[in-house]
Amino acid sequence: MYVYYTEIDWLVNTAQYSTFEHIAVFLHGSALKSLFVVIYRPGSSTASTIFFDELADLLNLTTSYSSVVVMGDVNLHLDMQTASSTSSFSSLLAANNLVQVVQSPTHTAGHLLDIVAVGSGTAVTSVNVPPPFLSDHSMIDVALDLCCANHHGFRSTICRSWRSFSYDDFERDLLQSDLIRSPPNDVHELVIAYDVTLSSLLDVHAPYRVIRRSTRPFQVWYDSDCRIARASSSTLSYNCLTRHLEEPVLHPATSLLPESDRLLEENDCRVRWRCTAALV
């Protein structure tokens, strides 16, 4: 299997089976969420009932994903439609709503041994099975349309860069402005000067910027408490990255900081973890 993708991927933990080898990788990105499962069953042994039981267990686990692709060398003569192994294998795929898209021989002996099975709702763009060249198996080329049906876009929002705002610098410039040094005597002119001065200073110290926000809705469980905790965590992370090490980031549990410093020098792990949990 060769997959070229630049988004996040990770291995999916599954059970270990005795009749075949396999690996499962989940690719997750802005427009793709699919599980890829590669199977290899040695051809030195016949396909027993244990193999089909273990394969059924794997398919039952992996097909719980919204999009799944199962591929590999199962070493079954799937071109022999009347064979019991072919019937059992096809029944397993059908029971898990999977379709085998490779229909031509994939081995030098003229048999169909390799599979690419996808969900019945997956669009198959093309299937190419060239004659074997570097190996006794063909290199199968299958193009699939796996883009998420619920892919959400982004919307642009204009806001001020309040994170870069410095109150001290703003106050210094405000004290040097004409609004403070020589304010107008007329009330109407004073209001205009107030608006113009503050707007111009904000454009310098907190200029407008364009940000992109995802239009994907939050999950039902993501309530106001989660939103507040996320905002607090983001603020603390930003402060840790931008402030100097000699300027500690204060937390509502600031009173515990001196005690935590003392406990870090001791070897009481339980107390240290309780203190850390309180800070976090």
At residue 5, the pLDDT reads 47
Write down which residue in 100, 126, 145 finishes a domain. 145
One domain, residues 65 and 97: yes
- Tell me the per-residue pLDDT of 186-224, one tens digit each, with 9 for 90 and over: 999 999 999 999 999 999 999 999 988 777 666 667 777
At residue 85, the pLDDT reads 92
One domain, residues 104 and 43: yes
Cα gap 118→67, rounded to integer Å: 8
Cα gap 65→27, rounded to integer Å: 12
**3 lies in some domain:** no
One domain, residues 86 and 198: no
Report, as an integer, the average pLDDT of 162-188: 91
| 127 touches 106 (CB < 8 A) | no
Model confidence at 14: pLDDT above 70: yes
Q: Which of 121, 135, 123, 5 is nearest to 73 (CA)?
A: 135
Write down which residue in 96, 116, 145 finishes a domain. 145
User: β-strand 33-40 against 68-73: which pairing, if any?
Assistant: parallel
Which has the higher per-residue pLDDT, 33 or 202?
202
Which has the higher per-residue pLDDT, 149 or 65?
65
Model confidence at 278: pLDDT above 70: no
**103 lies in some domain:** yes
One domain, residues 106 and 136: yes
Q: Is 232 left (phi over 0), alpha (psi -120 to 50) or beta?
A: alpha
Model confidence at 30: pLDDT above 90: no
One domain, residues 167 and 88: no
Q: In a 10 Å sphere around its CB, with 0-12 CB exposed, 13-18 middle and 19+ buried, how is residue 206 labelled?
A: middle
One domain, residues 53 and 169: no
One domain, residues 41 and 161: no
pLDDT band at 107 (very low <50, low <70, confident <90, very high): very high
**65 lies in some domain:** yes
Residue 137: DSSP 8-state: B
One domain, residues 113 and 170: no
Which has the higher per-residue pLDDT, 252 or 147?
147
The count of structural domains within the chain is 3
Which has the higher per-residue pLDDT, 11 or 149?
11
**38 lies in some domain:** yes
Model confidence at 251: pLDDT above 60: no
One domain, residues 141 and 156: no
Report, as an integer, the average pLDDT of 25-52: 86
Cα gap 15→58, rounded to integer Å: 8
Task: Compute the mean pLDDT over every residue in the chain, rounded to the nearest whole number.
Answer: 80
Scanning the structure block, which residue is given the tokens 């029971």?
A: 95
| 67 touches 37 (CB < 8 A) | no
CB atoms inside a 10 Å sphere around CB 257: 14
Distances (CA, A) of 34 to 12, 84, 196: 12, 31, 54
Cα gap 5→115, rounded to integer Å: 22
Model confidence at 116: pLDDT above 80: yes
- What residue numbers bound the domain in which 254 lies? 250-280
One domain, residues 160 and 95: no
Cα gap 117→95, rounded to integer Å: 13
One domain, residues 82 and 122: yes
* CATH number, residue 118: 3.60.10.10
pLDDT band at 72 (very low <50, low <70, confident <90, very high): very high
Cα gap 193→184, rounded to integer Å: 8
- Which string of DSSP letters, residue by residue, matches 143-206? EEE-B-TT---EEEEEEE-GGG--HHHHHHHHHTSHHHHS--SSHHHHHHHHHHHHHHHHHHHS
One domain, residues 121 and 12: yes
Cα gap 162→198, rounded to integer Å: 15
Distance spanning both ends of the chain, measured CA to CA: 43
**278 lies in some domain:** yes
Which has the higher per-residue pLDDT, 133 or 98?
98
**237 lies in some domain:** no
Q: Which of 137, 84, 141 is nearest to 111 (CA)?
A: 137
